[in-house]
Chains A and B, each alone.
Chain A
Amino acid sequence: MSVLLDILSSVGMWEAVLRIATPLILGTLGVLLCERVGVLNLGIEGIMTFGAMVGWLTVYSGGDLWVGILAAAAGGAAFGFLHALLTVPLGLSQHVTGLGITLFASSFSYYVFRLAVPTASSPPTVEPFRPLAVPVLSDIPFIGPVLFNQTAPTYMALILVAVLAWGLYRTPLGLAIRMTGENPHAVDAQGIDPIWLRIGTIMAGSALMGMGGAFLTLAAFNSFFPTMVQGRGWICVALVVFALWRPGRALLGALLFAFFDAFQLRLQTVVEGVPYQLFLMLPYILSIVALIVMARRARVPQALMQPYRRGER
């Protein structure tokens, strides 16, 4: 028992929670935005990989860290545009298109990476984001180092949660986005073109996914390797359901998952005689349980995965 308490009371553990959560927050917000406008985006896994690669490559070739983040967002938006083009005006299956984009973007990332860095036995590194201590606040014991000594992209992710929550629920654009996810015919009847609204929103959501990927290479680690996203994208897709399509809850879900992940990492090192793979499973099992509990209350956007064609029902 005291081992558990030790883990739970360590600053390092809680600090890790926020760090692990950051790419999940960005990715979940991205998926959430796409689904709110009525399109499933299973391209996230590949888009995050691409964002991780583009962000890293930009910095590796001499760009600023923030330019790297921006490049990742632009790369994500580009793949989002591809996904949107195939699923919205052409109305192709969103599952198949999304999985195709994941496969394509992942392989393409590795290909570009190999073109840029042809020979290297150990992956080259960049100078990543350093923790940024917020003056005064970071001096608060325990809470200070946990909350206010993170890297800049983590702060940005947290701000984005608030921005998205406000945007979706307080602005006319957000209402139009939510309406499109519920009934694109209604949006069209009010004189707004749901096709362009969907395309734009999917691009914005995919940009967030790309930024989530870039966090991995520019803050969490300092190099790129092709398998580094490791299913985080899929977790984000599940977290959106857990979040009942609300940004605030998405933050909560990402933190919860990150907590289990940080916890099991530390548990592996202290508990002996149990295969570590069991601990690795822990966050996934718990997220499935959480998903089951939450999904019963879910109000799924009614037009999710339904292509819109004018004059057809």
Chain B
Amino acid sequence: MTRVLELDSITKRFGHVTANEDVSLHLDRGEIVALLGENGAGKTTLMSILFGHYTADEGTVRVEGAELPPGKSRAAIRAGVGMVHQHFALAPNLTVLENVLTGTEPLWKFRSNRAAGRAKLVELSRKFGLKVDPDARVSDLSVGECQRVEILKALYNDARILILDEPTAVLTAQEADSLFATLRQMTENGLSLIFISHKLHEVMSASDRVVVLRRGRVVAERRTAETSKEELAELMVGRKVQRPERPPATPGKVLLEGVDLALGGKGGASLHGVSFRLRAGETLGIIGVSGNGQTTLAGLVSGLYPPDSGTLLIDGQEVPRHDVPHAIAAGIGRIPEDRNAEGTIGDMATWENAVLERIWSEDFSARGVVKRAAARAATEEIIKGYDVRGASVDGRIRLLSGGNMQKLILGRVLNAGPSILVAAQPSRGLDEGAIAGVHERLLEARGRGAGVLLISEDLDEVIALSDRIRAIVNGRLSPAIPAERADARLLGLMMAGDWTAAEAIEAEDAHAL
């Protein structure tokens, strides 16, 4: 095996914070190495050094034996290193071809050779099975297609080493599967890959070797075949992490009932004849591939949109008006799917984000004036009670990591004591430690007697937390099955729209009751 890349005892400090300490790492030709670590473990910093975005304080980077000059992305690109950023580095108003061509030719040239560029792009796209239209505007592409463009950009620069920073963070489960299939195919064409991740299952299924980073240091290196999820989780977090166990449910009265709800066009997909019941003290899990109407359903229950037809009953009462203030007043707590876009306002202070949802309640305002002291005290309480790390009451919330932002949202919602909790993709993008925390809180709310509507596309999460599970397919809800009967195969069938088995189980279950 030829060694294509070597990072030798890299150290990088930002002020007093040491992001990487004495990190060494190598990559062989045709290999897929996963760089595993929690958020903030220093994975992205390390890769930014390799790519010349940062200059290391100590240590060297060698590509195919030759040392890279520090701090020069251009040199890294020339040496054959390509980087696929987590936040796509694409220009939405330009075409795919223009995005790929930028910076590939000498700047002072009278005419750029588009025809040659297009030919090369089409050839690469065919060779690696990355289908994309060179003339499409990037703003018209799906997230998965944008990622293909990012990869093509690197390949166009003749990358032989590809670094992918959390490539699946924004992808649906299907897109992620097809991405890893493509990556595997690339290694057969002589490429070598490093991907950064904090998701154990994808590390286990897609890598040859795993390097675990914790607090800026390499803590372990394993051949994927010789390790397990459990071992990796422990190495990554530094202690045994266990997702909480779900105690048996004691369902009470029906808190929330949807009767034949239909809604077209809002929130991305339509709903058709959706009926369900949510009882006090139970969790109803809704599983589904994203884009099948779960965002719409969450929005409808949260009061964002009224249904076109059908009724929504809260506590047996028909909802008088479908808007957010009424939903909140009726005791619905909402954990939105996209915490950056819907859950928080990035440039506003933590305390403002913590109380904004209930700013008109008497707790936080009187006669049109905000009660700052009360609001700040409530925020302080959330930060302490929910262990929101790195947050200060007056700091901008965008500076928080995803996990800590989610803790703040959880605190904001749960401290209001909701009787119904709508949790949409509550652990998306979080690392193992944070996921366990979120799960604990959701189970706590259920234990207190709240009804939890859990909408997720993560099978493990749904099976672990739910008492009953329904699948959402093309805006329709499948029959409900008890979580005890759920396994990956059955849920897979349900998500694919084959409900015969589920119907039988539901009937059997109803019989047993």
Q: Could you list which residues of chain A lie within 8 angstroms of chain B, going by C-beta atoms?
A: 170-173, 175-176, 178-179, 182-183, 185-192, 299, 301-302, 310-311, 313
- Determine if B373 is an interface residue (Cβ-Cβ < 8 Å): no
- Determine if B53 is an interface residue (Cβ-Cβ < 8 Å): yes
- Determine if B443 is an interface residue (Cβ-Cβ < 8 Å): no
- Determine if B111 is an interface residue (Cβ-Cβ < 8 Å): yes
A182 CA to B90 CA in the complex, in Å? 8
- Please determine whether A178 and B94 come into contact, CB atoms closer than 8 angstroms: yes
- Contact residues of A: prevailing secondary structure: helix
- Please determine whether B90 and A175 come into contact, CB atoms closer than 8 angstroms: no
Contacts of B321 in A (CB 8 A): none
Q: Which of A178, A183, A313 has the most CB of B within 10 A?
A: A183
- Determine if B83 is an interface residue (Cβ-Cβ < 8 Å): yes
- A191-B103 contact given A178-B94, A179-B91, A311-B48, CB 8 Å threshold: yes
A50 CA to B90 CA in the complex, in Å? 38
- Please determine whether B53 and A310 come into contact, CB atoms closer than 8 angstroms: yes
Contacts of A176 in B (CB 8 A): 102-103, 107
Contacts of B106 in A (CB 8 A): 172
Instruction: Return the chain B residue nearest A189 by Cβ.
Output: B89
A-B contact pairs, 8 of them (CB 8 A): A171-B110, A171-B111, A172-B106, A172-B108, A185-B87, A189-B73, A189-B89, A301-B93
In the complex, chain B residues 412-455 whose Cβ is within 8 Å of any chain A Cβ: none
Partner of A191, one of B74, B87, B99, B108: B74
- Please determine whether B111 and A186 come into contact, CB atoms closer than 8 angstroms: no
Partner of A187, one of B83, B102, B105, B108: B102
Contacts of A172 in B (CB 8 A): 101-109, 112
- Determine if B98 is an interface residue (Cβ-Cβ < 8 Å): yes
- Determine if B276 is an interface residue (Cβ-Cβ < 8 Å): no
Contacts of A187 in B (CB 8 A): 102-103
- Determine if B54 is an interface residue (Cβ-Cβ < 8 Å): yes
A312 CA to B433 CA in the complex, in Å? 25
- Please determine whether B112 and A171 come into contact, CB atoms closer than 8 angstroms: yes
New contact pairs (15) apart from A191-B73, A192-B107, A302-B93, CB-CB < 8 Å = A170-B111, A172-B101, A172-B102, A172-B106, A172-B107, A172-B112, A179-B98, A183-B90, A185-B87, A186-B91, A186-B99, A188-B53, A188-B73, A190-B104, A310-B53
Instruction: Return the chain B residue nearest A245 by Cβ.
Output: B93
A171 CA to B157 CA in the complex, in Å? 18
- Please determine whether A183 and B91 come into contact, CB atoms closer than 8 angstroms: yes
Contacts of A310 in B (CB 8 A): 53
Instruction: Return the chain A residue nearest B111 by Cβ.
Output: A170
For residue A207, give the distance in angstroms from its CB to the closest CB of chain B: 18
- Please determine whether B107 and A179 come into contact, CB atoms closer than 8 angstroms: no
A302 CA to B77 CA in the complex, in Å? 26
Contacts of A311 in B (CB 8 A): 48, 53-54
Contacts of A171 in B (CB 8 A): 109-112
- Please determine whether B101 and A186 come into contact, CB atoms closer than 8 angstroms: no
Instruction: Return the chain B residue nearest A175 by Cβ.
Output: B102
Q: What class of interface size applies to chain B in its complex with A?
A: 20 to 34
Contacts of B72 in A (CB 8 A): 191
Contacts of A188 in B (CB 8 A): 53, 73, 89
Partner of A186, one of B76, B89, B108: B89
A182 CA to B92 CA in the complex, in Å? 7
Instruction: Return the chain A residue nearest B97 by Cβ.
Output: A175
Instruction: Return the chain B residue nearest A173 by Cβ.
Output: B107
Contacts of B104 in A (CB 8 A): 172, 190
Contacts of A299 in B (CB 8 A): 93
- A182-B48 contact given A172-B107, A176-B107, A190-B77, CB 8 Å threshold: no
- Please determine whether A179 and B73 come into contact, CB atoms closer than 8 angstroms: no
For residue B488, give the distance in angstroms from its CB to the closest CB of chain A: 36
Partner of A189, one of B83, B101, B110: B83
Contacts of A173 in B (CB 8 A): 107-109
- A190-B102 contact given A183-B89, A313-B87, CB 8 Å threshold: yes
- Determine if B85 is an interface residue (Cβ-Cβ < 8 Å): yes
What is the 8 Å Cβ interface bit string for chain B, positions 67-83, against chain A (1 contact, 0 not)? 00000111011000001
For residue B87, give the distance in angstroms from its CB to the closest CB of chain A: 6
Contacts of B48 in A (CB 8 A): 311
Instruction: Return the chain A residue nearest B105 by Cβ.
Output: A172
Q: Which of A176, A183, A189, A302 has the most CB of B within 10 A?
A: A189
A188 CA to B105 CA in the complex, in Å? 15
A107 CA to B83 CA in the complex, in Å? 49
Contacts of B112 in A (CB 8 A): 170-172, 175
A183 CA to B92 CA in the complex, in Å? 8
For residue B126, give the distance in angstroms from its CB to the closest CB of chain A: 23
A185 CA to B111 CA in the complex, in Å? 24
In the A-B complex, the 9 residue pairs with the smallest Cβ-Cβ separation, listed nearest first, are: A190-B103, A182-B91, A191-B74, A186-B89, A172-B105, A189-B89, A183-B91, A191-B73, A173-B107
A170 CA to B93 CA in the complex, in Å? 16
A221 CA to B77 CA in the complex, in Å? 54
A301 CA to B92 CA in the complex, in Å? 9
For residue B40, give the distance in angstroms from its CB to the closest CB of chain A: 15
A178 CA to B99 CA in the complex, in Å? 10
Q: Which of A170, A173, A175, A182 has the most CB of B within 10 A?
A: A175
Contacts of B93 in A (CB 8 A): 182, 299, 301-302
A1 CA to B219 CA in the complex, in Å? 88
Contacts of B110 in A (CB 8 A): 171
For residue A39, give the distance in angstroms from its CB to the closest CB of chain B: 16
A299 CA to B83 CA in the complex, in Å? 28
A93 CA to B72 CA in the complex, in Å? 29
Contacts of B92 in A (CB 8 A): 182-183, 302
Partner of B103, one of A170, A192, A301, A313: A192
For residue A75, give the distance in angstroms from its CB to the closest CB of chain B: 25
For residue A199, give the distance in angstroms from its CB to the closest CB of chain B: 14
A310 CA to B71 CA in the complex, in Å? 12
For residue B420, give the distance in angstroms from its CB to the closest CB of chain A: 35
A159 CA to B303 CA in the complex, in Å? 58
Contacts of A186 in B (CB 8 A): 89-91, 99, 102
Instruction: Return the chain A residue nearest B94 by Cβ.
Output: A182
Contacts of A183 in B (CB 8 A): 89-92
For residue B418, give the distance in angstroms from its CB to the closest CB of chain A: 32
For residue A124, give the distance in angstroms from its CB to the closest CB of chain B: 42
In the complex, chain B residues 122-142 whose Cβ is within 8 Å of any chain A Cβ: none
Contacts of A301 in B (CB 8 A): 93
What is the 8 Å Cβ interface bit string for chain B, positions 382-402, against chain A (1 contact, 0 not)? 000000000000000000000
For residue A87, give the distance in angstroms from its CB to the closest CB of chain B: 19
For residue A308, give the distance in angstroms from its CB to the closest CB of chain B: 12
For residue A181, give the distance in angstroms from its CB to the closest CB of chain B: 8
For residue B128, give the distance in angstroms from its CB to the closest CB of chain A: 19
Instruction: Return the chain A residue nearest B102 by Cβ.
Output: A179
Contacts of B73 in A (CB 8 A): 188-191
What is the 8 Å Cβ interface bit string for chain B, positions 465-502, against chain A (1 contact, 0 not)? 00000000000000000000000000000000000000
Contacts of B105 in A (CB 8 A): 172
A79 CA to B159 CA in the complex, in Å? 41
A142 CA to B483 CA in the complex, in Å? 86
- A175-B98 contact given A189-B73, A189-B89, CB 8 Å threshold: yes
For residue A193, give the distance in angstroms from its CB to the closest CB of chain B: 9
